[in-house]
Amino acid sequence: MRYIRKFSLLIGLTFCLSACLSPMAVETAAIAEDNSWQLTLVNPWTTIPEDWTVTLEKTENGHQVDQRCASDLADMLAACRDAGHSPVIRSSYRSQTTQQQLYANKVAQMERSGYQGQAAQDRAATIVARPGASEHQLGLAVDLVDRSYQVLDKKQETTPAQIWLMEHSWEYGFILRYPADKSEVTGIIYEPWHYRYVGKENAKAIQESGLCLEEYLEQLTQAEAAAQTSANLTAQPTQEDWQNLLNRFYTFLCSDQQTEQAWKELLEQGKLFLDRCALSQIP
Ligand SMILES: [Zn+2]
């Protein structure tokens, strides 16, 4: 009986609110430009999306990239040259077939140096991504080197072009994708030549945070979840919310498990609803 009395009180308290609730608001938010392609993740554990399509645009020396990053790449290379350096594109877009060939070559090289079977494949994959797991297949990655030193090794970081690129690439929407201290997270060795386009806004945020792409995406996901929770808590209550609340109370009353805990949770729901009404300035 005490539950019935409490319920009646709550209903009495909230009854007037149902009349005050405005009809469900019509969502009219403008559809924001979809920039999610910029953050498409491809790594040893995440292969290129099956529906990924790329429109290629020719850039220097017969190289091709996704047309959406072509002008920023051209701007970056021009600025690097204006600063007195000589950057060269060593690698750009790769098809699945090309990636397959590169990977097979690296596995063979590993086998020649003593690795066998799976070990050779795993070792090769830390240097050349497995087919389907290379960012080059997106068309959003380029390997850039200094004309004076075109070897892909650690020494690349000491070349003038590379020093400039590491400092300024973010201004053009590119990040050094595989930093020295992030191999555990990226699954790829330090590559002071591989740049990935993520758009200027993301590149700036990544540069400032010191995160690698995987960590940045994780942080974005968490921030979105928190924002969604917050939005749910403060969104103006609708008739549907009110119905849901009533249904919960009804279900509770019909239940033969009317525990103290269940009642507490229901009251919390009711209080939350009232708080949302108050926040929405419903009198
Ligand atoms: Zn690369």
Q: What is the pLDDT of residues 132-181, one digit of tens each?
A: 999 999 999 999 999 999 999 999 999 999 999 999 999 999 999 999 99
CB contact at 8 A, 21 and 282: yes
Helices marked H in the chain — which ranges? 2-20, 67-82, 96-112, 117-125, 160-168, 183-186, 200-209, 213-234, 239-254, 260-279
**pLDDT value at 9 more than 80:** no
CA distances from 191 to 4, 28, 35, 121, 129 (A): 68, 45, 26, 19, 12
Distance 194 CA to ligand 1 centre (A): 4
Q: CA neighbours within 13 Å on the CB side: how many for 177?
A: 25
- Kindly tell me if the per-residue pLDDT of 73 is higher than 90: yes
* Contacts for 20 with CB less than 8 Å, ≥ 6 apart: 277, 282, 283
CA distance 188 to 194: 11
91 alpha carbon – ligand 1 mean position (Å):
7
Q: Report, as an integer, the average pLDDT of 11-38.
A: 50
Q: pLDDT tens-digit profile of 263-283?
A: 988 888 888 888 878 777 655
Is 191 an active-site residue?
Answer: yes
Distance 135 CA to ligand 1 centre (A): 7
Q: Report residue 196: phi and psi, to 5°.
A: -120, 135
Instruction: Give the active site residue among 57, 191, 224, 260.
Output: 191
At residue 262, the pLDDT reads 86
Question: Is pLDDT above 80 for 120?
Answer: yes
pLDDT at 31 over 70: no
| Integer angstrom CA distances of residue 29 from 25, 26, 194 | 11, 9, 38
> How remote is the CA of residue 195 from the centroid of ligand 1, in Å?
7
Please report the pLDDT score of residue 193 as a whole number.
98
- Kindly give, in sequence order, each residue whose CB lies less than 8 Å from that of residue 145, ignoring residues fewer than 6 positions away: 87, 88, 90, 151, 152, 156, 159, 161, 162, 193
Name the residues around ion ligand 1, CB cutoff 5 A.
143, 194
Residue 7 clears pLDDT 80, i.e. is over it:
no
How many Å lie between the centroid of ligand 1 and the Cα of residue 53?
A: 19
pLDDT of residue 15: 43
The string of pLDDT tens digits covering residues 184-225 is 999 999 999 999 999 999 999 999 999 999 999 999 999 989
Token pair for residue 17?
Answer: 């609110």
pLDDT at res. 265: 86
Residue 222 CA to ligand 1 centre (angstroms)? 29
Going along the chain from its start, the domains and CATH numbers come out as 2-21+237-279 (no CATH), 50-94+134-209 (3.30.1380.10)
Q: Per-residue pLDDT averaged across 230-240, rounded?
A: 79
- Cα–Cα distance between 55 and 70 in angstroms, integer? 11
Spatial separation of the C-alpha atoms in residues 271 and 267, rounded to whole Å: 6
Do residues 57 and 69 make contact, with C-beta atoms less than 8 angstroms apart? no
Closest residue by Cα to residue 178 from 238, 135, 234, 122: 135
Predicted pLDDT at 118: 95
Report the range of poorest mean pLDDT among 7-16, 220-229, 237-246: 7-16
pLDDT attached to residue 259:
87
Mean pLDDT, all residues of the chain: 87
Under DSSP, the state recorded for 63 is: -
Cα of 126 to ligand 1 centre, how many Å? 12
**Quick one: pLDDT at residue 281?**
65
CA dist 60 → 56, 69, 152 (Å)? 13, 13, 19
